[in-house]
C-alpha cells in the first residue's frame, strides 16, 4: 500500500487579493486547500477541496456571515459558481455565443464578498476532491459518497470541520446550492439542524427537491402527469423568446401567468383523465398546447399531449435544423442528429464549458497558487452513473424516494427562523421555474 501524504493530510495555500463590488473595494484573504473527512475508526476517507475567501481585517468574525457554495450534478465540481458567478474574478463570455481562447477574467461586480465570506466546495470525486481509497492510504470507497444520503452526510461533515478549523461556529451560516446542489442543501440543512448547528438561511438556485417533478425522461414514469404540467410554462417562455407562438402579441409575464393557470387547471384535469380524454376535449387541449409551445399540432397529438423537456428542446427549432439549450434555452445550436428524438448535447453548456474549465485551471494555479501537480476534474468520473438515488425520508426506516421536500420542511420546523430563498429562470428546462414554485407551495409545513 502506497500512502499519499498529500491526500491524507490537509493542504493549504494562502494568498491575498481584492475585489470591487458596487464601487466598494474589498480586500480579502484566500485559502485554497483540503480538509480530510474520516470514518468512525478515524481513518481518512476523502480529501475535500475548497476555496475560502475571508474579508481582511475583520474585527469581529461572529458578525460576518459565512456562505457554503456548491454546484450540483450530481458529479459536478463547483468551478461554475466560483469563476462564473460569485467569486472575486469572473470569466468573460458572450451571452449566447461561444468564445475561444485566450480567455479573460475581470473583477466580478456580482461577487457576494461584500455581504459574506465565501466557501466554494467540490463534491467528493469532483474538482480537486478525491476519495482516499485503501490503495492510497485511506479507507474510503465511492459507495460512501455517491448517493443522496451519503453526499449529504459528507457535506455536513465538511461544514462542521470547517467551522472548527477556522473558528466560525458563532458566525451567521448560509447554504447556497445550485441544481442538484439545492437537493443537497435540503438534506444538509436538516442534518445540521438535527446536530444543533443552526443555519441562518438556505439559498436555492435552480431548485429541484423531488425527481418526481422533473420533465427529463418523464416517459419512463407513466401516470406521473405533474412533470409535464410544471415544465409547460418554461416551454411557453422559450417559444415566446424564439417568436414561435401563433400569437406573439403578448408580454412574457402575461403569457407565463396564463400558462401557469392552464397547467394547474385545464391541462391537469385533461391529463388526469388518461385514456378517457377524447373528442372535442382532447382536440381543445392539443390546440392550446400548440398555441402555448409553437410545436406542430400533429406532433403534439403523436406525443399524446405529453412532451418532455428534451423532446421540446429538439423539436422547437427543428425546421431550422437546430436544438435549444437545456439549462438555458436561449442558447441554440445545430442538431447533431436531425432524426433523433432528443438532443445529443446541450448548446448552452457547449458554448462556455471550455472557457470555464481553462480559466479556472489557470486561476487555481496562478492566482491561488494551488494544484500545480493535480488534475482538476470539472466532472467526476461517472459519478452520476454510480449514484444511489434512494433517500431515507425523515421518519422512515427505509431508503425509498428521491424527494427531499420533507428534509427542508423538517429543518424549517426545527428552526422557525431559518430563511429560504428561491431563485429560478424562465428559460431553464433542467429545473423548470414552475417546478420550484410548486415545491415551495407544497412543502409539508404549517
Q: What is the pLDDT of residue 13?
A: 97
* C-alpha cell at position 252: 412574457
Measured distance between the N- and C-terminal CA atoms of the chain, rounded to whole angstroms: 54
Q: What is the pLDDT of residue 446?
A: 87
Choose among 34, 405, 80, 376: nearest CA to 210: 405
Alpha carbon distance 118, 21 (integer Å):
14
**Cα separations in angstroms, 60 against 26, 129, 319, 422:** 16, 31, 61, 30
Residue ranges of domains in the chain, CATH in brackets: 5-211+379-441 (3.40.50.1820), 220-345 (no CATH)
Cα angle 95-328-360, degrees, rounded to a multiple of 5:
60
Measured from the Cβ of residue 337, the count of other Cβ atoms closer than 10 Å reads 11
Burial of 24 (0-12, 13-18, 19+ CB in 10 A): exposed
H or E, element range at 334 = strand 332-334
Is residue 311 helix, strand or coil?
helix
* C-alpha cell at position 261: 393557470
Alpha carbon distance 272, 223 (integer Å):
8
Alpha carbon distance 99, 102 (integer Å):
9
H or E, element range at 167 = none
- Per residue of the chain (446 residues), what is the pLDDT tens digit? 455 666 789 999 999 999 999 999 999 999 999 999 999 999 999 999 999 999 998 888 889 999 999 999 999 999 999 999 999 999 998 877 788 899 999 999 999 999 999 999 999 999 999 999 999 999 999 999 999 999 999 999 999 999 999 999 999 999 999 999 999 999 999 999 999 999 999 999 999 999 999 988 878 788 899 999 999 999 999 999 999 999 999 999 999 999 999 999 999 999 999 999 999 999 999 999 999 999 999 999 999 999 999 999 999 999 999 999 999 999 999 999 999 999 999 999 999 999 999 999 999 999 999 988 889 999 998 999 999 999 999 988 888 889 999 999 999 999 999 999 999 999 999 999 999 999 999 999 98
Q: What is the pLDDT of residue 2?
A: 52
DSSP assignment letter at 358: H
Before 119, cis peptide (omega within 30)? no
Burial of 215 (0-12, 13-18, 19+ CB in 10 A): buried
Q: What is the pLDDT of residue 91?
A: 96
Is residue 396 helix, strand or coil?
coil
DSSP-derived secondary structure for 216-282: TTGGGSTT-THHHHHHHHHHHHHHHHTT-SS---S-HHHHHHHHHHHIIIIIHHHHHTGGG--HHHH
Choose among 69, 62, 64, 65: nearest CA to 87: 69
Phi, psi of 225 (to 5 degrees): -80, -20
What sign does the CA torsion over 118, 122, 123, 124 have?
negative
* C-alpha cell at position 10: 490537509
Output the pTM of the full model. 0.95
Choose among 5, 7, 66: nearest CA to 31: 66
Q: What is the pLDDT of residue 223?
A: 87
DSSP E strands in 22-153: the ranges are 24-38, 44-55, 66-70, 89-91, 105-107, 117-121, 130-131
Q: What is the pLDDT of residue 1?
A: 44
Numbers of helices and strands, H then E, in the chain: 13, 13
Is residue 379 helix, strand or coil?
strand
H or E, element range at 324 = strand 322-324
Amino acid at each position: 500500500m502506497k500512502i499519499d501524504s498529500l491526500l491524507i493530510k490537509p493542504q493549504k495555500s494562502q494568498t491575498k487579493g481584492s475585489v470591487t463590488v458596487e464601487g466598494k473595494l474589498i480586500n480579502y484573504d484566500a485559502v485554497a486547500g483540503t480538509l480530510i473527512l474520516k470514518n468512525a475508526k478515524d481513518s481518512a476517507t476523502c480529501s475535500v477541496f475548497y476555496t475560502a475567501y475571508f474579508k481582511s481585517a475583520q474585527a469581529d468574525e461572529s458578525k460576518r456571515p459565512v456562505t457554503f457554495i456548491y454546484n450540483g450534478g450530481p458529479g459536478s465540481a463547483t468551478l461554475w459558481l466560483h469563476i462564473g458567478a460569485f467569486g472575486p474574478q469572473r470569466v468573460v463570455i458572450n451571452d449566447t455565443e461561444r468564445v475561444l481562447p485566450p480567455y479573460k477574467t475581470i473583477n466580478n461586480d456580482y461577487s457576494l464578498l461584500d455581504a459574506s465570506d465565501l466557501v466554494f466546495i467540490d463534491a467528493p470525486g469532483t474538482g480537486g476532491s478525491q476519495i482516499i481509497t485503501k490503495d492510497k492510504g485511506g479507507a474510503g470507497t465511492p459507495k460512501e459518497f455517491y448517493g443522496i444520503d451519503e453526499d449529504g452526510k459528507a457535506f455536513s461533515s465538511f461544514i462542521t470541520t470547517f467551522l472548527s478549523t477556522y473558528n466560525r461556529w458563532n458566525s451567521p451560516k448560509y447554504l447556497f446550492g445550485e441544481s442538484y446542489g439545492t437537493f443537497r442543501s435540503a438534506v444538509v440543512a436538516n442534518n445540521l439542524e438535527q446536530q444543533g448547528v443552526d443555519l441562518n438561511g438556505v439559498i436555492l438556485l435552480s431548485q429541484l427537491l423531488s425527481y418526481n417533478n422533473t420533465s427529463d425522461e418523464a416517459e419512463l414514469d407513466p401516470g406521473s402527469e405533474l412533470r409535464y404540467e410544471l415544465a409547460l410554462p418554461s416551454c411557453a417562455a422559450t417559444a415566446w423568446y424564439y417568436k414561435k407562438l401563433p400569437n406573439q402579441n403578448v408580454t412574457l409575464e402575461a403569457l407565463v401567468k396564463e400558462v401557469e393557470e392552464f397547467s394547474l387547471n385545464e391541462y391537469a384535469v385533461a391529463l388526469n383523465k388518461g385514456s378517457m380524454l377524447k373528442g372535442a376535449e382532447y382536440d381543445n387541449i392539443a390546440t392550446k398546447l400548440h398555441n402555448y409551445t409553437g410545436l406542430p399540432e400533429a406532433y403534439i397529438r403523436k406525443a399524446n399531449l405529453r412532451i418532455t423537456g428534451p423532446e421540446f428542446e429538439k423539436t422547437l427549432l427543428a425546421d431550422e435544423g437546430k436544438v435549444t439549450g437545456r439549462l438555458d434555452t436561449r442558447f441554440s445550436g445545430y442538431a447533431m442528429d436531425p432524426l433523433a428524438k432528443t438532443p445529443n448535447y446541450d448548446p448552452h453548456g457547449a458554448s462556455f464549458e471550455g472557457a470555464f474549465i481553462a480559466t479556472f485551471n489557470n486561476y487555481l494555479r496562478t492566482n491561488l497558487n494551488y494544484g500545480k501537480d493535480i488534475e482538476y476534474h470539472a466532472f467526476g468520473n461517472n459519478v452520476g452513473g454510480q449514484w444511489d438515488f434512494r433517500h431515507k425520508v425523515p421518519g422512515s426506516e427505509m431508503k425509498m424516494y428521491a424527494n427531499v421536500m420533507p428534509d427542508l420542511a423538517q429543518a424549517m420546523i426545527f428552526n422557525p427562523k431559518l430563511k429560504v430563498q428561491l431563485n429560478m429562470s424562465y428559460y431553464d428546462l433542467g429545473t423548470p421555474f414552475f417546478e420550484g414554485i410548486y415545491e415551495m407551495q407544497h412543502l409539508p409545513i404549517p
